[in-house]
Chain A
Amino acid sequence: MDRLMRRGMLAVAVGACLLSAVAIAQEAQQGPQAQQGQMQRQMPLPKDIIKQAKMAPTPKAPDGHPDLSGLWNGYFGDPLVGNRNQLSNAGIQEISTDTTEDIYSGAMIATFPPDGKRRNSQDGERGNTLLRRMGSNKPIYKPEYWDRVQKFDANSNELDGAYHCMAAGVPRIGVPSQISQTANTIVFVYPGQGGLLATQATYRVIPTDGREHTKLDNLDGTYNGEGIGHWEGDTLIVDTIGFNSSTYLDQVGGYFHSENMHVIERFRREGNTLTWQATIEDPDVLLKPWTTNERVVVLNPNPKAVLAESMPCSERDFAHAVTNEHH
């Protein structure tokens, strides 16, 4: 019995060693590139996810308009940061594993496989700084403001209020993560950026009852302004005025605006996708209206999913920032 027990223990120990060795040998045979390749094969291209999601039927509200209600955070994460089908807000889109394009100009961007280099925080942040500004679709400011935009951008970690728990504001808040639609009102919920960047969660209540804007002189400028909605065919138009001048137009770029800004947002549901685009008119500072790149979000595939509670905004990162420009 004792001998059997000893042999049994020995067999278990040797077996454990052999299993370890076999596992290590298999891993070594595959290598990190093979593992990465497997991951790449597992992840469909965002454009293919969008194409698939568009094929679903578009639900209609009782009044016949598309029903935009739902949780719009499927697949691509936080809509404020930018969708994974584009590179942040730069409008750079992955076409295939070795092809990337600027969706505004159609220019092809030279694309190479990853080199496996490890980079320190500063290299990483500066890399992101470059990546998020490389797109061609930029607001065209009056020449007297070109230097100001550059200064705001180069120092945005310090100067950008949204980095210090202030509201991101319209149009920078982008696509709402949740929409609730009734006959005369649409409610947009934006969860903020939680732990990623310090911005506030916010909401907008948009009347769609045919009312007109309050006179601009009678409006107190706010971060999100006074938004009024109406339908043009199957597209929801949200027309907003009455802003303060404390926010930027976009996540990066130092794109400031005046209190006379006028924002026209377009929301279009196709199947289980929602396409958002905004046109910004601000004749005080812009040479001409600027239209953002389209952003497409996908409905959360889990019908029971609910929007998670936003983390309280408590700015603790700035002291640790190694660069001054937003990344």
Chain B
Amino acid sequence: MPQKERIIKILTTAVVVSLVFQIAAVHRDKVEAAPATARAAAAAPDPKPADASDPHAVLGAAADALGMLRQAAFSPGRTPRLDVINTVEFWAGGTPFTEYHAALVYNPPGMRVEFTNPNGNPQHAIEVVSGKYAWNESQIGGGLEPGRGAATPEMMAEKERLLRLWILPYGVVKAGLAARDKAKVSSENGMTVVTFPLTGELDGVTVKATLDAKNLVSRVVTQGPGNLSTETQYSDFADRSEIPTNVIFPGHIVRKRDGKVVLDLQIKMVDTNNPYLVVPVPDSIRKVSSN
């Protein structure tokens, strides 16, 4: 073989070997960059977190399953996932309420529920809570402006209304994470259970939340004084927003008190796309409550 051809052959071999290494590297990069879920699914089909005894990890898995986390970009290299759920609105119907419309805010905590109960007294009401204030509105935003409806104080209902906010699946995750080392994880009948105390206005109430196999909050039991002891079942989770957000919300909510069903709702529509929801406290309510 002439010398020139030999040199070309040697160089060609070297280039081919080098290319093989490069292709292998690209393939490895692709595998590592593949969706973590796909890789995790192959390695561990069970969606439960690696450390099932760590409340932060368990509640993080629940937040992830509910679609509460989104990756932020503060600056290059700083891209944590944050809990983006602050405002949620949903529409439902069932027993005893034929129409049930809830608008809730977690920061600062507040909730407005408008319902129709054909057998109730009243048959129609708008119940509102914001921080330490609770009141009823004669119309949405009643009492905030002269000539636009009225606001009637309902301070005795404040704790029960706040509890509704915190026992929804998102509220459970938020309150559980806020409880930090007071949150405990256990297992009951093969299901993961997180137990933690509520604080602030709901001091004295404990929450026991059961996660299903997909880490979704499926059952919440509260223990507290009076009507603050409840049991709520959540099922049929899906992204129910008109604008899809990958935020998951239950399709069926059943609440019991003393073993008796007090609320059975089928969810019709949800807006988890951070709707503009505010719960300002009317001046008249602040004045009455401070007296």
Contact = CB atoms under 8 A, between A and B. Distances in A.
Contacts of A40: 77-78
Contacts of B178: 108
Interface residues of B, number: 67
Contacts of A6: 3, 6-7, 10
B69 interface: yes
Interface stretch (B154-162, B218-226, B275-283): B275-283
A16 B18 contact: yes
A191 interface: no
Given A136-B108, A143-B141, A17 B17 contact: yes
A13 B13 contact: yes
Given A9-B7, A115-B36, A117-B35, A133 B274 contact: yes
B116 interface: no
A interface, how many residues as a size bin?
Answer: 35 or more
Contacts of A324: 243
Nearest to A93: B74
Nearest to B109: A107
B276 A126 contact: no
A221 B274 CA distance: 32
A80 interface: no
A102 interface: yes
B188 to A, nearest CB: 25
A27 B21 CA distance: 13
Contacts of B125: none
Interface in B7-38: 7, 10-11, 13-15, 17-18, 21-22, 24-25, 28, 32-37
A55 interface: no
A131 B82 CA distance: 8
Interface string B238-251: 00000111110000
A113 B280 contact: no
A266 B266 CA distance: 50
A42 B77 contact: yes
Contacts of A94: 74, 78, 80
Contacts of A21: 21
Given A6-B6, A117-B37, A143-B145, A112 B274 contact: no
B107 A43 contact: no
B174 interface: yes
B14 A13 contact: yes
B140 interface: yes
Contacts of B24: 24
A102 B22 CA distance: 46
B17 A126 contact: no
A17 B70 contact: no
Interface in B255-287: 273-278, 280
A136 B107 contact: yes
A140 interface: yes
In the A-B complex, the 10 residue pairs with the smallest Cβ-Cβ separation, listed nearest first, are A143-B141, A13-B14, A39-B77, A133-B274, A110-B83, A130-B84, A127-B70, A116-B36, A149-B276, A136-B107
Interface of A: 2, 5-6, 9-10, 12-14, 16-17, 20-21, 24, 27-28, 31-32, 36, 39-40, 42-43, 46, 84-85, 87, 92, 94, 97-98, 100, 102, 105, 107-119, 123, 126-131, 133-136, 138, 140-144, 146, 149-150, 153-154, 253-254, 287, 323-325
13 contacts: A9-B10, A16-B14, A17-B18, A84-B75, A102-B107, A105-B108, A110-B60, A110-B69, A118-B35, A131-B82, A134-B82, A144-B148, A287-B145
